[in-house]
Amino acid sequence: MREHETTVPIVRVEKLYKVFGRRAEEAVGKLENGADRAELELPGVTAAVIDASFTVERGEIFVVMGLSGSGKSTLLRTLNGLLPATSGRVLVDDIDLTDKSAGQVRELRQRRMSMVFQHFALFPHRTVAENVAYGLSVQNAPRERQRERTAEALEMVGLTGWEDRLPGQLSGGMRQRVGLARALAADTEILLMDEAFSALDPLIRKEMQDQLLTLQRQLGKTIVFITHDLNEAMRLGDRIAMMRDGRIVQVATAQEMLTEPADEYVAKFVRDVDRSRVLTASAVMAPADISFTPATTVAEALETMRRNELSGVLVTEDGKFAGAVDRRAVSEAADRGTETIAGLVDRSAARTAPETQMADLFGHAASAPAPLAVVDDGGVLLGAVTREALLNALSSGENDEQEVNARV
């Protein structure tokens, strides 16, 4: 892979405006001078996207999130050139869509991007296989290749055997799988998904989310995914762009959005999220300021634990996590006159990876005397999660305190 391919974002949006109505340019001028959508006061003019700048990195799932009317669909449609920008630039692999002819944009779209819609947009009188092959047939791909790609795509979404059915014979979840297969068959690097799972039952929706995550890992597609559902955004998004009234108010990971919301609006928006499913050990851990080695003397260990009111301490050996000691064992060893803590280290003490969800940390935090060790792949101690840190992280949302206590 050339240097340039690893560093250039696949999509780059710069100061993008999309205004509907006849006095669009005039509106952009006002918006550039700080006017809000509501302050425009130009009849028949709607500022759908205002001053949007962001990049989408190759291979990421970039979620655009916001309430109905915030401008998500319009933004998506300017990314693939279905809607021309009023002002600003959209670059796909450094090709500027905004200075290309309609024909060139269409060609680029067909080659580089596929779209999956909320209501599937399948042809009702064509079979599943014909629907899936549609993008390829538009591109005049050879028949044999169409057949191969269709079979592969149907297999990827688990619909092998359904080739000859009509969409009307399928459930909603299956129809959306056909929509997804059609996008995959076109073999474009970028998938644009507009509320693709919003029409599905919660259970099926979750299944589709899982399937998308699996496919994304296998295929490494770049996905721009629109949703108004925050939990969906947080499950799927490597990064999330939050839109409000046409503007992007924050682009961040789910975790950052919870811990460092850009403003009150974002903070309120994320308040009801199940934080324990979004935050991971890396967000909750603190540096393990106090740790021992097996060579630490019992006297010193006991003194340190007493002074800091610690019931357990983590132990490292040769720079790696080795286990934990608890205060009762150290205290008893002191009575016996034992020299060092080497023989007291519980080498089976729990440890976890930085990406472990907070929800999976509760059990440990409730029982063990020492904090939970967070270690990297090589066993190096990265930090420690205490019960207090878990409580704090949970309650910085507006969770009910009793509920929090019940969980920990």
Ligand X SMILES: Nc1ncnc2c1ncn2[C@@H]1O[C@H](COP(=O)(O)OP(=O)(O)OP(=O)(O)O)[C@@H](O)[C@H]1O
Which residues of this chain interact with ligand X, rule CB under 6 A? 20, 46, 48, 66, 68-74, 228
Cβ proximity to ligand X: between 71 and 167 the closer is 71
Nearer to ligand X, 48 or 313 (CB): 48
Q: Which is nearer to ligand X, 112 or 247 (CB)?
A: 247
CA distance 408 to 396: 15
Tokens of 249: 């108010």
Q: Any bridge partners for residue 368, and if so which?
A: none
Give the SS3 label for residue 385. strand
Closest CB 66 distance from ligand X, rounded Å: 5
Q: Which of residues 113 and 186 has its CB atom nearest to ligand X in the complex?
A: 113
Per-residue HEC secondary structure of 230-280 comes to HHHHHHHCCEEEEEECCEEEEEECHHHHHHCCCCHHHHHHCCCCCHHHHCE
Helix 172-185, helix 143-156: angle, nearest 10: 130
Nearest approach, Cβ of residue 252 and ligand X (Å)? 19
For ligand X, which is the closer residue by CB, 239 or 351? 239
Distance (Å, rounded) from C-alpha 407 to C-alpha 78?
45
Q: Is 150 exposed, middle or buried (0-12, 13-18, 19+ CB in 10 A)?
A: buried
Q: Which of 133, 134, 183 is nearest to 157 (CA)?
A: 183
**How many alpha carbons lie under 13 Å from residue 29 in its C-beta half-sphere?**
6
CB of 37 to ligand X, least distance (A): 8
* Smallest gap from residue 61 Cβ to ligand X (A): 18
Structure tokens at 10: 């696949």
Give me 176's structure tokens. 């959306």
Q: Exposed, middle or buried by CB within 10 Å (0-12, 13-18, 19+), for 250?
A: buried
Residue 83 CB, nearest approach to ligand X (Å):
8
Which CB sits closer to ligand X, 181 or 241? 241
* Beta carbon of residue 68, minimum distance to ligand X (angstroms, whole number): 3
- The smaller minimum CB distance to ligand X, of residues 71 and 312, is found at 71
Contacts of 117 (CB under 8 A, 6+ apart): 179, 194, 195, 196
Q: How open is the CA angle 242-243-245, to the nearest 5 degrees?
A: 155
In the bound state with ligand X, the residue whose beta carbon lies nearer, of 117 and 362, is 117
Beta carbons of 240 and 252 less than 8 angstroms apart:
yes
In the complex, minimum distance from the CB of residue 38 to ligand X, in angstroms, rounded to a whole number = 11
Shortest spacing between CB 20 and ligand X, in angstroms: 3
